[in-house]
């Protein structure tokens, strides 16, 4: 509990010092200080974010194009093998799930 009170007191003291400092600045000093410490960093961050988003979008488009090309190449190379495998797996599954149907067809 004393730690919280001590921290609260420090924050109140800092806030009081900041208010005194701002009240003693002339309007030109206040404006230049406001621009340098608040507006400029926000403008720079906004610009950096915009540049980053543009680069990110370009990279995302390239990635999607490469993925589509790889998928088309994969489909072309393995389409026949995949369809054979799918038919084999489907027949094995039907044999395992419904063995009685396969026994009946052999007997007739």
Convert the pLDDT of each residue in 5-51 to its tens digit: 666 677 677 777 766 766 676 666 666 666 667 766 776 777 677 66
The SS3 of residue 26 is coil
- Domain of 59, in residue numbers: 2-107
Q: Is 30 exposed, middle or buried (0-12, 13-18, 19+ CB in 10 A)?
A: middle
CA distance 49 to 53: 6
- pLDDT value at 74 more than 70: yes
**45, 51 in Cβ contact below 8 A?**
no
pTM of the model: 0.35
Calculate the dihedral angle through the C-alpha atoms of 90, 95, 98, 100, rounding to the nearest 10 degrees: 150
What's the half-sphere exposure (Cβ side, CA atoms, 13 Å) at 58? 6
Domains of the chain: total: 1
């Amino acid at each position: 509990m004393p730690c919280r009170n001590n921290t609260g007191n420090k924050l109140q003291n800092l806030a009081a010092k900041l208010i005194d400092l701002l009240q003693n600045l002339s309007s030109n000093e206040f404006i230049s200080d406001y621009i340098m410490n608040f507006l400029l960093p926000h403008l720079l961050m906004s610009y950096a974010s915009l540049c980053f988003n543009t680069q990110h979008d370009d990279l995302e488009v390239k990635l999607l194009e490469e993925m589509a090309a790889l998928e088309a190449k994969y489909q072309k190379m393995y389409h026949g093998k995949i369809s054979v495998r799918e038919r084999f797996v489907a027949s094995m599954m039907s044999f395992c799930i419904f063995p009685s149907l396969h026994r009946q067809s052999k007997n007739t």
